[in-house]
């Protein structure tokens, strides 16, 4: 392109020199100069008075889904556009949406569709976009940068779990037994008059408006007990192949294969367990440090599952908080009858003492332990670690690399050692 312009510059110079002998050569120089100016103007017009839009049907997906996006380019002027190159700078992996738009006549539209397989969890940016075009002679090329962006989130995948150790709960008799509690729980039992010291989130405003005085909600314990999932994402527990650092894709065919990292195995196991218990209409809470404290209060329903998946989509093993510290800091907040599920690849068995203390308080503790030796960590006696955990009265589900997580989590291990 620069070479072509240089040739025209050289011809203009020759024409000007020749014009001192014959005036005809000045006219040739004017023609070449006018050609360059018109080419520059045409190149500038080719990327202006152009409207580009992108339509996405959903902005929350899961690994294994396909992200659909429709692009539309409209020429809003009467000047035709010979070609327009669209360069998309999105960060979504494998999102090949860059395109060359053919000739657009005045007021004409052009559309194309892009389907992208979601192979990596996280939050990604769609856009910005750069439009490039040029003149018919290839003398100039103009670019226009459009900074508009928006976000799309890809959740980690989940696997079906058919039979997991059943949490016991605090009370006998299932839902037939009711017991009031001063704590706010998902189980609202009735209303009463507002008492000094009640928090504002306990006020039932509709009843207060009907009765002309403040009324507060009463709550009851869940006879089945809460299920809490603690996910260990400390740096010390992370074991991964070198290719994983910086992110890695899930292999979607012929079947789902997880990246070679204890982090990804733990995240998928935690997400699958949350889905399993929420599908059973259980109250599920979630806690991890990734690296900041991510706390999701116990609740039921699809909204709770989405909140957990959003946290897991962005989770990274970047915290210095170990599993032992997490249990010591957070364990005392759990009520009697709670089932605590710990997901970890840590070989530091100092957390076992904290887990044993929780069992003495009336909690049921279950550990999903990922074997780091199967990811290449040498000198590890995983069976010895497993026996030490079981000796504290903790039920252990071992998970190894290349295991089918459905099979690894869908059985009932032997009785816990006491």
The full set of domain ranges for the chain reads: 1-155, 180-220, 227-409
Q: What share of the chain in percent tops pLDDT 90?
A: 63
CATH of domain 1-155: 2.60.40.3880
Closest CA to 269 of 344, 375, 376: 344
Range 13-34 burial, b when 16+ CB lie within 10 A, else e: eebbeebeeeeebeebbeebee
Judged against a pLDDT cut of 70, whether residue 171 lies above it is answered with no
> Can 1-155 and 227-409 be said to share one CATH topology?
no
Q: Which residue has the higher pLDDT, 242 or 16?
A: 16
Its pTM stands at: 0.83
User: Which pairs from 83-88 meet CB under 8 Å and 24+ separation?
Assistant: 83/46, 83/133, 83/134, 84/46, 84/47, 84/50, 84/131, 84/132, 84/133, 85/131, 85/132, 85/133, 86/52, 86/129, 86/130, 86/131, 87/129, 87/130, 87/131, 87/132, 88/126, 88/127, 88/129
What does the pLDDT read at residue 18?
A: 86
pLDDT of residue 380: 80
Percent of the chain with pLDDT over 70: 90
227-409: CATH class: alpha beta
pLDDT band at 85; cut points 50, 70, 90: very high
27 near 34, Cβ under 8 Å?
no
Would you state the pLDDT for residue 176?
Answer: 41
Mean pLDDT value of segment 56-63: 93
What is residue 414's predicted lDDT score, i.e. its pLDDT?
62
């Amino acid at each position: 392109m620069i070479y072509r312009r240089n040739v025209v510059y050289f011809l203009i110079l020759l024409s000007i020199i020749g014009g001192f002998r014959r005036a005809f050569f000045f006219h040739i120089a004017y023609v070449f100069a006018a050609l360059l100016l018109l080419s520059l103007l045409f190149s500038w017009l080719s990327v202006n008075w152009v409207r580009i839009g992108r339509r996405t049907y959903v902005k929350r997906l899961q690994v294994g889904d396909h992200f659909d996006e429709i692009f539309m380019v409209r020429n809003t002027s009467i000047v035709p556009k010979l070609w327009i190159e669209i360069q998309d700078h999105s960060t979504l992996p494998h999102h090949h949406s860059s395109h060359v738009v053919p000739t657009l006549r005045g007021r004409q539209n052009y559309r194309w569709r892009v389907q992208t397989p979601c192979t990596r969890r996280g939050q990604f940016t769609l856009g910005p976009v750069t439009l490039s075009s040029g003149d018919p002679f290839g003398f100039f090329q103009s670019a226009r940068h459009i900074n508009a962006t928006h976000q799309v989130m890809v959740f980690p995948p989940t696997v079906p779990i058919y039979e997991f150790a059943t949490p016991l709960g605090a009370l006998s008799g299932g839902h037939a037994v009711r017991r009031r509690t001063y704590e706010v729980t998902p189980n609202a039992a009735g209303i009463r008059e507002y008492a000094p010291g009640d928090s504002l989130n306990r006020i039932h405003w509709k009843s207060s408006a009907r009765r002309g005085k403040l009324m507060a909600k009463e709550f009851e314990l869940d006879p089945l007990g809460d299920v809490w999932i603690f996910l260990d994402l400390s740096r010390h527990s992370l074991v991964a192949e070198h290719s994983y650092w910086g992110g890695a894709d899930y292999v979607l065919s012929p079947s789902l294969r997880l990246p070679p990292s204890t982090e990804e195995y733990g995240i998928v196991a935690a997400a699958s367990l949350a889905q399993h218990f929420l599908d059973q209409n259980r109250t599920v809470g979630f806690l991890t440090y990734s690296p900041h404290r991510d706390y999701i209060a116990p609740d039921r329903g699809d909204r709770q599952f989405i909140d957990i998946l959003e946290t897991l989509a962005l989770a990274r093993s970047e915290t210095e908080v170990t599993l032992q510290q997490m249990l010591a800091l957070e364990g005392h907040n759990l009520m009697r009858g709670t089932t605590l599920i710990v997901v970890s690849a840590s070989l530091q068995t100092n957390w076992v003492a904290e887990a044993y203390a929780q069992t003495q308080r009336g909690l049921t503790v279950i550990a999903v332990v990922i074997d780091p030796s199967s990811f290449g960590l040498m000198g590890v006696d995983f069976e010895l670690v497993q026996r030490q955990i079981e000796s504290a009265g903790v039920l252990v589900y071992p998970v190894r690399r290349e295991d089918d997580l459905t099979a690894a989590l869908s059985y009932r291990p032997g009785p816990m050692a006491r």
